[in-house]
Structure 1
């Protein structure tokens, strides 16, 4: 039977990125219901817009293209400067969002924004379009899926990624219509090829201007009758999106994905259908669906605690929450994402990251288990990155952009220089008897029982002082396979 502390840590991992060091003291006494109410309240406010555009990019993307400005033509030198500025911007928005995941009290919002980031996966190397899309997913992460679907579908990032800009009545492009049905709403098996072809006609003429604003171009729109799901009308793209939401299959599909993300990779059809019925009845209100999940007694059952493999982002953010860290070179966090197989703003394809057991293979597991010691011992980052399964994408191969240049991870060795603030973590264990420290530390760091005897850690810990023992034991526990689960 799970303890109160385990249930609360379970809640913190599923509604966010794990407990912060300063939260540990209250996890043994607070009830999950009270903690969840606090979590919901802290995520209620609209997020601040993350703007990483430098002055040069702002000039190129916006100012020089404004009405009344002379036509702006980039020469070779200007194009190179723009590309470098854009790469630096993509890195910066990645790192700034990671910082939000680590430090923001709005943990539930950022956790669900990460879910939608993978659900509405785009890989567009225009930082301006990416930050607009990120704001939409963060702003509506807990609100209306209806609103979120409409906003994302009209975002410049999505329109460009799925070639919607070239969808015209003379030659309809089916990319967006196919993906919005297969991946964003209904799921496979709940539509026909004719539905896709007819829906593609409804989306003709959709586009975005240089400011990332949606534009309907009437001259390219097919305004003839279309038959979608057996209904015929002169549908617009917006009306097709609403038709998709009328289908209960959409509620089941979205609920199933959220269940696998927040509860278990093993679906429970009966439970998912019950949740989906309420989701549909509540007009796709995401927050109410999450309330149904996180306030349910079954959510805290032992079989769900420690049953999910942490995504690379969960792992990276969670380590920084429990042990506050300051990286001398924040670019190391980009390297780690590449090595572990999840780079924000660079999904492998339009389906996003598959998750689950795909996060772990022999190479990535060893990298994950080495990571805590590499960080604390100022080790050299000499691990090989995982491959990229989208060969048509822009980041295939063993390179990642860091600090404004290409860093070849299979050639360069970067030292990890990190300062860790142990104060709050150590304070939590200051009154724990020495003989009970290992189980107490394991209880705070692991969501499943240790599979090795505590005595096995003795050879790897420093018992010269209580402080050293707590620190070295914590690191060794974080190097265990059990730490990969949440």
Structure 2
């Protein structure tokens, strides 16, 4: 199980976004039990928002809008989405409520939507943050009624004469039960139950009775004149749902190769607790198996975990934070814009030759030791390649970061930085690291953060 220090380090990297420079003493001296209890402290909940006004005078879908008005609306939309993205990242890096934000990050990939409307994005983001450690039933109901989800999966078009099965299919396949636990006919009947669910111009959920199919439906072995609420309740009655959710959480927080005994036990408890997520997470982090060697330092950090982790351990001022989204884009994880309804991939799919190079260089780029070099892929048509390369380099303003190295030196005085930066120190050869260093603490830390081992959590 390791020492309390190694347990605390593992806990903080999985239950949050890595060690903050302010936690260095804590993880060395606190009992693991206390660290777990700290994670579940009740903090006041604050919504994430953006500063630019919510009012877009003419939605660019308005057929009467001029080209200029459409452009202006698009500009505001983009600005609000970038602000929302960065404000979510700020919560991850600064909030003491680390577990809430880590769970919200998990749900953000689980209930993946990709819509342009910043108001809808903000609303869904706050729904998943508010319910991140609450009750899965409430979370599922609120997400299913959010305009972001209803728009993304076309339920606005789901009407009794023309049922649209998109939302119904994904609710079962990706959000609750997983494949193999329902039939094609269940999807058809589920879609009928969701007919009429939509939202108004203001982004409020509405049930449109005229569009709802009131006929009898047979779904997962039950027959009745079901509404959307009824069918979600039937889905939650299935033990397959508790097992699917538990497995996905386990893969994210513990190990991508789940232990079936642990899954069975945890999902049974989740089901009998009526989907209490806080209890599930307490069970995971309090279990001795969570700290087993096989679960430590075996996960590749997602780009968000990598970026947030660097910002947490190195006190820094970021003068052009909007340029952090450039790194998100290049590394393949732009918050608010998952690739598709299945969310982001994980594990080895985060790493290819170009993303690994950039990952290893970020500590040096952000410390001002090397310029940001990125060029379009070789196989581009030369002409296009040149243009896009110039355009890219032009777009790459540095985030303009100042790191407070004095604070870092003070904090790490008489400590081995590798103990705090590398999850499994047995993997790292410190001789190689110090070979490239001028023996200063600053270079030592930058070099440690530029190793493949730093990519693991």
Q: Which category describes the TM-score, using the shorter chain as reference length?
A: over 0.9
Aligned to 2:402: 419
TM-score under structure 1 length normalisation? 0.88
Aligned to 1:485: 456
Aligned to 2:48: 50
Shift of 1:325: 1.8
Task: Please tell me whether residue 453 in structure 1 is matched to residue 429 in structure 2.
Answer: yes
Q: Per the alignment, in what secondary structure is the counterpart of residue 215 of structure 1?
A: strand
Task: Please tell me whether residue 268 in structure 1 is matched to residue 265 in structure 2.
Answer: no
Task: Please tell me whether residue 13 in structure 1 is matched to residue 13 in structure 2.
Answer: yes
Q: Distance in 2 between matches of 1:46 and 1:117?
A: 21
Match of 1:224 among 215, 226, 233: 215
Aligned to 2:295: 304
Task: Please tell me whether residue 462 in structure 1 is matched to residue 433 in structure 2.
Answer: no
Match of 1:60 among 37, 57, 60: 57
Q: Distance in 2 between matches of 1:21 and 1:314?
A: 16
CA contact 2:92–2:102 (8 Å) conserved in 1: yes
Q: Distance in 2 between matches of 1:305 and 1:175?
A: 38
Q: Which blocks of at least 5 consecutive residues in structure 2 are unaligned?
A: 378-383
Shift of 1:371: 1.1
Match of 1:473 among 421, 444, 455: 444
Tell me the alpha carbon deviations over residues 175-213 of structure 1, each in whole angstroms, 9 at most, x when there is no partner: 000000000000010000000000000000010112211
Q: Per the alignment, in what secondary structure is the counterpart of residue 77 of structure 1?
A: helix
Aligned to 1:394: none
Tell me the alpha carbon deviations over residues 225-269 of structure 1, each in whole angstroms, 9 at most, x when there is no partner: 000011110000011011100000000000000000100111111
Q: Distance in 1 between matches of 2:429 and 2:181?
A: 50
Q: Distance in 1 between matches of 2:18 and 2:220?
A: 43
Which runs of 4 or more aligned residues in structure 1 lie more than 6 Å from their structure 2 counterparts after TM superposition?
none
CA contact 1:311–1:355 (8 Å) conserved in 2: yes
Q: Distance in 1 between matches of 2:100 and 2:63?
A: 39
Alignment of 1:130-145 (within 5 A): 130-145=121-136
Q: Per the alignment, in what secondary structure is the counterpart of residue 343 of structure 1?
A: coil
Q: Distance in 2 between matches of 1:157 and 1:426?
A: 45
Shift of 1:72: 11
Shift of 1:61: 7.7
Q: Per the alignment, in what secondary structure is the counterpart of residue 326 of structure 1?
A: strand
Shift of 1:423: 4.2
Shift of 1:428: 2.9
Q: Per the alignment, in what secondary structure is the counterpart of residue 380 of structure 1?
A: coil
Match of 1:359 among 347, 350, 361: 350
Q: Per the alignment, in what secondary structure is the counterpart of residue 190 of structure 1?
A: coil
CA contact 1:109–1:141 (8 Å) conserved in 2: yes
Shift of 1:456: 2.1
Q: Distance in 1 between matches of 2:310 and 2:404?
A: 12
CA contact 2:100–2:133 (8 Å) conserved in 1: yes
Q: Per the alignment, in what secondary structure is the counterpart of residue 283 of structure 1?
A: coil
CA contact 1:378–1:418 (8 Å) conserved in 2: no
Aligned to 2:380: none
Shift of 1:379: 3.3
Q: Distance in 1 between matches of 2:174 and 2:255?
A: 20
Alignment of 1:56-455 (within 5 A): 57-58=54-55, 60=57, 74-377=65-368, 379-383=370-374, 408-409=391-392, 412-430=395-413, 432=414, 440-449=416-425, 451-455=427-431
Tell me the alpha carbon deviations over residues 55-82 of structure 1, each in whole angstroms, 9 at most, x when there is no partner: 3x425389xxxxxxxx995333222111
Q: Per the alignment, in what secondary structure is the counterpart of residue 28 of structure 1?
A: helix
Q: Distance in 1 between matches of 2:401 and 2:295?
A: 33
Change (3 A) 1:474 1:323: same
Number of positions where the alignment pairs a residue of Structure 1 with one of Structure 2? 447
Aligned to 2:2: 2
Change (3 A) 1:320 1:53: closer
Tell me the alpha carbon deviations over residues 114-164 of structure 1, each in whole angstroms, 9 at most, x when there is no partner: 000000000000000000000100000000100000000000000000000
Q: Which blocks of at least 5 consecutive residues in structure 1 are unaligned?
A: 63-70, 387-396, 399-406, 464-468
CA contact 2:17–2:308 (8 Å) conserved in 1: yes
Shift of 1:328: 2.1
